[in-house]
Amino acid sequence: MNDAPPVNPRDPNFISRCNAPLRADLEADYDALTRQLERRGLKIEPVMRAVAEFRVAIPSWGVGTGGTRFARFPGPGEPRNVFDKLEDCAVIHALSGATPTVSLHLPWDQAEPKALTERARELGLGFDAVNSNTFQDQRGQALSYKFGSLTHTDPAVREQAVAHNIGCIRVGEALGSKALTLWIADGANFPGQQHLARAFERYLESAAQIYAALPADWHLLIEHKMYEPAFYATVIQDWGSSLMAAETLGDRAVCLVDLGHHAPHVNIEMIVARLIRAGRLGGFHFNDSKYGDDDLDAGSIDPYRLFLIFNELVDAEWRRASELRPANMLDQSHNVTDPIESLISSAIELQRAYAQALLVDRAQLADYQQRNDVLMAAQALKRAFTTDVTPILARGRLERGAAIDPIGAYRASAYRKQCAKLRPVGEGSRSGIV
């Protein structure tokens, strides 16, 4: 057994061998669900097709083991560089069928763009939004970001941060990206540390220079975050600041909602509805949380909240209220699981929420709302949410040549063990965040 040749989890023959013993049960479950939905006046096929088309980008930093402020416990066979990361992302995509693009973070993923595009092409991957980093100082960097970047009091620091972002756009152009995600850690830890109004003005000025450097078919995704590392006030702390910035900058500046970047219990689906109304919902960083920016796996803590967000998206499509196609990405930190397994199952949780949202009888719901039949309106959502759509998701994957049971196939391939041999410990990142 030990001498068996290594299995490539991306090999379509391997995947179909894994699928073979599962096909009959899947068919039976899919048929049963088809009949159940028919009784509710719903057609399964369009839901399955829509779910099979669903895509979410993988953040390059998500395939390494994350960490907290206290420690990082690296796992075996971690990616050592961006090329290893791409390979892991290709495994996630081959098994899930849902993640054909990778979002790079610069300068963490610095490499020759030509080498990156070539490797990505070989692996059947593309590049999503590029992320800039002005929340850390890099070795050899002229000026420090300790007291801010785009909003720093010193114009020279602001200039350096703007130049970095423009550099990211240039790299992104070479990779075929179509967006720059802008998240800054700038803010204050003490009242009085920063002039709240002036800091925002400086943000708008710096961001305008970045916006001016965007190619015509690009978007600027403005990501807000309530706190951390600034614990008193963050310059772009909420969707209000983000929306104000987007509206000031121009049409191609849009808002990105990272689910973890809000106070606990905030009604995120309402924020989504408002941003759709404003025509500025640019994208998501999906994850889940219990207390703060916990970066836990999507749908692992509060799947109903995830469903309610997808409910707003599907509703907007149904009403044709929005022309925007939000950029979907996972943004998670995997501290105690194999990142590949977490990312596969998170992509599936998003598809689950999407499928459930597609099962809401919208005409009926609108009628209950109109008549103020509160209980039935609430039940219309719960009914969709409590439907076990697992067979729809699995069937969608099968149609894409992916795995019926992606985690099972991943484990059967022993990919992580192979990586542990090929990627010796000690060469990867040891930093706390990624």
Hey, what's the torsion of the CAs at 417, 420, 421, 425, to 10 degrees? -170
Q: How far is CA 172 from CA 258, 294, 321, in A?
A: 21, 28, 30
Distance CA 85, CA 320 (A): 37
Radius of gyration of the chain (CA): 22
Nearest residue to ligand RM4 by CB is 183
Q: Could you give the C-alpha distances from 163 to 134, 206, 213, in angstroms and in order?
A: 11, 10, 10
Q: How many residues bind Mn ion (CB under 5 A)?
A: 4
Q: How far is the CB of 116 from Mn ion (least distance, A)?
A: 22
- 341 touches which of ligand RM4, Mn ion, none (CB within 5 to 8 A by kind)? none
Q: What are phi and psi of 258, to 5 degrees?
A: -90, 120
Check if the beta carbon of residue 140 is closer than 8 Å to that of residue 147.
no
User: Should residue 131 be labelled a site residue for ligand RM4 when binding is judged by CB under 6 A?
Assistant: yes
- Cα–Cα distance for residue pair 299/393, rounded to 1 Å: 15
* Contact pick of 258, 294, 297, 338 for ligand RM4 (by CB under 6 A): 258
* Contact residue for Mn ion among 288, 293, 294, 349 (CB under 5 A): 293
- Which does residue 93 bind out of ligand RM4, Mn ion, none, counting CB within 5 to 8 angstroms by kind? none
The residue within the footprint of Mn ion, chosen from 285, 334, 397, 416 (CB under 5 A), is 285
Which residues within the stretch 312-331 sit at the binding site for ligand RM4 (CB under 6 A)? 331
At position 170, the amino acid (one-letter code) is R
331 near Mn ion, judged by CB under 5 A: yes
Show contacts with ligand RM4 in window 97-116 (CB under 6 A): 105
Q: How far is the CB of 307 from Mn ion (least distance, A)?
A: 21
Q: Name the residue with tokens 């048929």.
A: 31
Minimum separation from the CB atom of position 240 to Mn ion (A) = 18
The rounded distance, in Å, linking the Cα atoms of 402 and 351 is 14
Q: Which is nearer to ligand RM4, 330 or 355 (CB)?
A: 330
Helix (H, G, I), strand (E, B) or coil at 256: strand
Residues in binding contact with ligand RM4, number by CB under 6 A: 11
Buried b (16+ CB within 10 A) or exposed e, 185-203: bbbbeeeeebeeeebbebb
In whole angstroms, the minimum distance from the beta carbon of 172 to ligand RM4 comes to 14
214 to 253: interface string for Mn ion, x by CB under 5 A: ----------------------------------------
Interacting positions 161-220 with ligand RM4 (CB under 6 A): 183
Strands 327-330 and 281-286 come out as: parallel
> Can you tell me which residue has the tokens 């044709």?
320
Q: Of 219-248, which residues contact ligand RM4 (CB under 6 A)?
A: 223, 225
List residues near ligand RM4 by CB under 6 A: 61, 105, 131, 183, 223, 225, 258, 285, 293, 331, 433
Binding site for Mn ion (CB under 5 A): 258, 285, 293, 331
